[in-house]
Amino acid sequence: MTWTGITAGVAMVVLTGIFHPVVVKCEYYFSAKVWPVFLVLGLACLGLSLCVESAEISSVMGLLGAILLWCIRELKEQEKRVAKGWFPRNTKRV
């Protein structure tokens, strides 16, 4: 019996729940111009997932990397949602 699938599924739900508000806050405070940070972190996590021996940790690192890369798209979408008035705009941001 292996727990890799269950671990990956739980990690997916938890990481998605964590990174949704992170994307909203990043867009609010820094704008969508912060996307290179997500790119570097996502690629680093994907690279690290290739080096880890444990299947569970490797799959979670791979999921984290994929979610970080997906955050780039969500930052652009969040910018559109702010423009539509669905989320507040940070007027203090320069």
What tokens does 54 get? 């444990």
Task: Average the pLDDT over 52-60 and give the result.
Answer: 92
- Quickly state the pLDDT bin for 70 (edges 50, 70, 90): very high
Q: What pLDDT was estimated at residue 94?
A: 59
- Cβ–Cβ < 8 Å for 43, 65: yes
Q: What sign does the dihedral 54-12-66-25 (CA atoms) show?
A: negative
Do the Cβ atoms of 37 and 75 come closer than 8 Å? Answer: no
Residue 93 pLDDT > 80, yes or no? no
